[in-house]
Structure 1
Amino acid sequence: MTVRQATHAGSWYSDDAEQLDQELQRWLDDVPDEIPEIVPSGETCSLPINGTRAIIAPHAGYSYSGPNAAYAYKCVDTEPIKRVFLLGPSHHAHLRKCALSQCTKYATPFGNIQVDTEMIAKLKTEGEWDVMSTQVDEDEHSLEMHLPYIYKIFEHKIDKIKLVPILVGNLSQADELYYGDMLASCLHPDENLFIISSDFCHWGHRFNYTYYKDDGASRRLSARQPPPDGQAIWESIRQLDYKGMEVITRASNRDFKRYMEKTSNTICGCHPIGVLLGAIRALYYDDADAPGPRLRFIKYDQSNRVYSPSDSSVSYVSGYLQLP
């Protein structure tokens, strides 16, 4: 038995179970039972949402993104769920494929979450996967930052929940569709939940990304120049991210790929999102008349409102996928 240790506890989030539980509960309680959808806007949804098969949520330190992630987790109707597929980007290991965990349990300050070793073995027989070393697994934060929330919302039935961690590499569009096709049959059953781990725009010179758009023209800002005369930089970032969210709600891997190529937005989970969109495509490609998927975003935040080109920020979003 190999247990993946909670290596980011005590730094990225509290390693004190009581304090962590209080924080998570407070953030979940702060999410209204009815909230307006922000992309596309106009409708209000009641939480939890029946038929939620996937959520998109951030993975930064909890002081930055914990309150935002609560919105995604509040969408989940936990009753039918038995298995959680957790897809996150690889920030450290260079991967060209998706990698499965070799651990049997994932530790949290609350206790361990059981890994679905049978499902992992099944996936290995059906496609081309890498396997994470324990070192790679424990170095990566994009998966770990979701574990306390997973444990929290399923604490009443945690012994019945199994986890399928998947570290997503730097995939081509064809590979996103390949893995999406392999996972499509797992996306539809209501006993499964997919969690897509992603932050949105990382803006600033420390991220080598200073995209700015105003009056239809886009350009790169220099750290030494004064603030632009047009809209504030944080507003340009928001506009960029909102466009990205709007494209994702189309549930089209092709459209999202075009958006990424056009803007180079630093969405670190773009490939996990691409795999999800690939799975949706596989489910609905041959059945155009079937009721379609419903992808919506309900929360958007920035770590800092940027006014100066020398400043920086990271964006966080929460969204859900509802299948009929």
Structure 2
Amino acid sequence: MGSERIRESVIAGTWYPGNPEKLRTVILEYLAKASAASLSGRLVGLVAPHAGYMYSGPVAAYAYKLLEGRPVKKVLIMAPSHRAYFNGASVDDVAGYRTPLGVVSVDRVFTKRLMAYQDLFSHVPQAHAQEHSLEIQLPFLQVVLGAFQMIPVLIGDVDLDGCRRLAQAVAKAIGDDEVLLVASTDLSHYYTYQDAKKLDARVIEKVDGYDPEGLFEALRRRECEACGGGPLVTTLLAARELGATKARVLHYANSGDVTGDVRGVVGYMAAAIVDNPGKAVKEAPSSEPPESSVEEGLSEQEKSVLRTVAWQAIRWKLGLEAEPVYEGTASKLWEKRGAFVTLRKQGALRGCIGYVEPHMPLWRTVKEAAVQAAFADPRFPPVRAAEVDALQLEISALSPLERLKDPLQFTVGRHGLVIRKGYHNGLLLPQVAVEHAWGKEEFLNWTCKKAGLSPECWRDGNVEVYRFGAEVF
């Protein structure tokens, strides 16, 4: 590898505006209309669609809006090859990519690291020559990031083991470097509006559940479609290798929402991949009380059971499924624990209710919290059957409350807070402080306000302050 050639745009003026001022204006308009998702944890990767901007630009904006104000300097884009067949992955052998907004330079040092894995990465010139799925991401990145370097990777024919090996190689190449991953994919193609939504809901379910293996299997069984299935699965796996433990779908739409033609549509999804919002930054040893054994964590199978219970409980109340009853023997699911269930729709809050005190087995707590979040949150109308497939669900399994002698004896990102005084009671989950970048005193002040008390009530010796841990998934 060593070409100094600049790859010229092959889609400017067709897939997106060729005039730089118009292109920038269009992107800024999309970003202005997209709502900013509240995400806790370190952003590891994004998923964005790759159709023409008039169709998928409004959806892509939900992903790229998360980059506003972030100091990202390197982006590794994994995209599908639509015009060439090959095994494994192809790294482009160019010095940069030109769009109407300028040239994005390729990190040649990084591409050499990837090419060192000769059994996985090669250079297939015909794959990159006319490919749109990678280039289409660049103008959005140029607007939100300014100057940055890219690593352009096209994924060819791969099985699940191939995705795993590519993901491991990508993670090893990144090492301690700061690199954002981006997966480029559209979803189902040319089904009716309703059929497309059903197919795409399967992809959304697997991405929201951070289940790349399950997603690959669903794609293999043709239970759903994604033309960038290989890049998507590989990106989810690589992000996991880099410490990510959670993904969230930020927005979904299809071309029928733009054109009004519902006879044959293409689905689009934006998503984010982050590390565990419940994990705290490593700190020096302190004199804080020891953590509850609950923080040892639930297994992936136990989390899957709780997600199934929550979804089935909501559908049960809508008359769509039988009432969920857990009859397994997993001891952690029978422990009496508190839990919250949070529902979102297209990235916006749709309901959040839970139980702090451990009065019921965890699986039952999740069941009840899911029903309450869907149908009894006073801030929102009850969930309707027609919108269930568009919802995203998050569970926070709580550790027991610990009353604090010193109100500052907690760790932001690891602990949630409860403040009580008389009939006043306020609670905020751990991820709330991370989402708003609060320090300890700000977190305490806002929890006081949540309880209906003055912001600095926690300084009053008559106020009870409690901390708790939360495993969020």
Q: TM-score over 0.5 for the alignment?
A: yes
The CA deviation at 1:22 is 0.4
Q: Match for 1:169: what amino acid?
A: G
Distance 2:57 2:190 in 1: 20
| Structure with larger RCO (C-alpha < 8 A, sep 6+) | 1
The CA deviation at 1:77 is 5.4
CA deviations on 1:84-105 (whole Å, 9 max, x unpaired) are 0011000001011100010001
Summarize the Cα distance change of 1:79–1:298 in structure 2 as closer, same or farther, 3 Å threshold.
Answer: closer
SS of equivalent to 2:79 = strand
CA deviations on 1:100-158 (whole Å, 9 max, x unpaired) are 0100011010110010001011111134212031x532300000100111111112xx0
Kept in 1, the 8 Å contact 2:78–2:152? The answer is yes
The CA deviation at 1:190 is 7.4
Corresponding position: 1:254 with 2:245: no
Distance 1:8 1:170 in 2: 24
Distance 1:78 1:115 in 2: 22
Summarize the Cα distance change of 1:316–1:189 in structure 2 as closer, same or farther, 3 Å threshold.
Answer: farther
Aligned residues: 270
The CA deviation at 1:281 is 4.8
SS of equivalent to 1:145 = helix
The CA deviation at 1:295 is 0.0
Distance 1:167 1:12 in 2: 19
Pair member with larger Rg: 2
Q: What's the counterpart of residue 215 of structure 1?
A: none
The CA deviation at 1:239 is 2.3
Q: Map residues 1-324 of structure 1 onto 2, 5 A cutoff.
A: 1-33=4-36, 35=37, 45=38, 51-76=42-67, 79-128=70-119, 129-133=121-125, 135-155=126-146, 158=147, 161-185=148-172, 191-204=178-191, 233-283=192-242, 293-304=245-256, 311-324=263-276
Structure 2: which 5+ residue stretches go unaligned?
A: 277-473
Distance 2:204 2:143 in 1: 27
SS of equivalent to 2:213 = helix
CA deviations on 1:8-50 (whole Å, 9 max, x unpaired) are 00111111000001000111111123x4xxxxxxxxx26xx65
CA deviations on 1:161-196 (whole Å, 9 max, x unpaired) are 211000000111111111011112456757211110
Q: Match for 1:322: what amino acid?
A: V
- What fraction of aligned residue pairs are identical, expressed as a percent? 26
Distance 2:134 2:183 in 1: 9
Kept in 2, the 8 Å contact 1:88–1:167? The answer is yes
SS of equivalent to 1:279 = helix
The CA deviation at 1:262 is 2.7
Summarize the Cα distance change of 1:250–1:185 in structure 2 as closer, same or farther, 3 Å threshold.
Answer: farther
The CA deviation at 1:51 is 1.5
Kept in 1, the 8 Å contact 2:207–2:249? The answer is no
Summarize the Cα distance change of 1:188–1:259 in structure 2 as closer, same or farther, 3 Å threshold.
Answer: farther
Distance 1:188 1:246 in 2: 30
The CA deviation at 1:78 is 5.0
Summarize the Cα distance change of 1:281–1:27 in structure 2 as closer, same or farther, 3 Å threshold.
Answer: closer
CA deviations on 1:285-314 (whole Å, 9 max, x unpaired) are xxxxxxx61200011111016xxxx93110
Summarize the Cα distance change of 1:242–1:25 in structure 2 as closer, same or farther, 3 Å threshold.
Answer: same
Kept in 2, the 8 Å contact 1:203–1:314? The answer is yes
Distance 2:46 2:175 in 1: 14
RMSD: 2.3
Q: What's the counterpart of residue 225 of structure 1?
A: none
Q: What's the counterpart of residue 213 of structure 1?
A: none
Q: Match for 1:195: what amino acid?
A: V
Distance 1:138 1:154 in 2: 25
What TM-score does the superposition give when structure 2 sets the normalisation length? 0.54
Distance 2:224 2:246 in 1: 23
Structure 1: which 5+ residue stretches go unaligned?
A: 36-44, 205-232, 285-291
Distance 2:138 2:239 in 1: 25
